[in-house]
Every structure is written in C-alpha cells, then in structure tokens.
Amino acid sequence: MSVSVHPAPLLLHHYRGKRLSRYVWVTEIGDLSLRNGKGAEEIRIIGEVLIDSASSLHDRLDFLCVHLPGKLAYAFPEDQNPIAVLDDPVDIPNDEPYSPIIRH
C-alpha cells in the first residue's frame, strides 16, 4: 500500500462539488499500521465520515458522506434510506492513504 500527502483527485472533485451544511462533523478513519509509532507528519488516514452537525437522533439519514478505501457514498437531501445510499457508492480509483488534518 502506498501513501500520499493528498487525497485522490476524484475524491476531491466529489467533495468540492457537493453542497454541504456550513458546519459538519468529520471523523477520520485510520489504520493502526499507518498511525502507531509515526510522527505527526507521517500519519495517514484511509477515509472519513461527514455528518450533519444539526442532525438529531430522529433523522433517518444524518451522514452526508462516507469515504472508505476506493469508495465514496454520499447522500442527497431527498435521500431517506441509508442502506440504499451505502449500497451505491462511487468508485474512487487511485485512492491511497493520505495525510489527516492535524490540529495543534
């Protein structure tokens, strides 16, 4: 598995073209082998989940995007079935682990 500093270009294209809420929760997904024993500049993530920060327990679909290696599932405002959204992801070729957003 190779590593990159930046996400795959097609992933960036999909994120830049998606209308998102002003505030979202981002949970980065990692692999312990890409984290343990590494310095801050060497850590890599393999995906993320974006969640609407204004969602509630009663919302049927509160995630906006789920990015896992090679796949991106994203919901539109009219989507009501999370399983259907997750069952129809977009393929992201050349999707390699990349640098997380590190806050100090």
Q: Is residue 45 part of a domain?
A: yes
Q: How many domains is the chain built from?
A: 1
Q: Is residue 33 part of a domain?
A: yes
Q: Is residue 100 part of a domain?
A: no
Range of the domain at 69: 9-91
What was the pLDDT predicted at 12? Answer: 87
CA distances from residue 66 to 40, 41, 82, 96 in whole angstroms, order as listed? 24, 24, 11, 16
What was the pLDDT predicted at 20? Answer: 79
Rounded to the nearest 5 percent, the helix, strand and coil shares of the chain are 15, 25, 55
- Mapped onto helix, strand or coil, the DSSP state of residue 79 is coil
Torsion-angle region of 39 (φ positive above 0: left; ψ -120 to 50: alpha; else: beta): beta
Predicted structure pTM score:
0.82
Query: Residue range 58-76: average pLDDT?
Result: 87
Q: Is residue 98 part of a domain?
A: no
Q: Quick check: 60 pLDDT over 80?
A: no
Q: Is residue 71 part of a domain?
A: yes
Q: Is residue 54 part of a domain?
A: yes
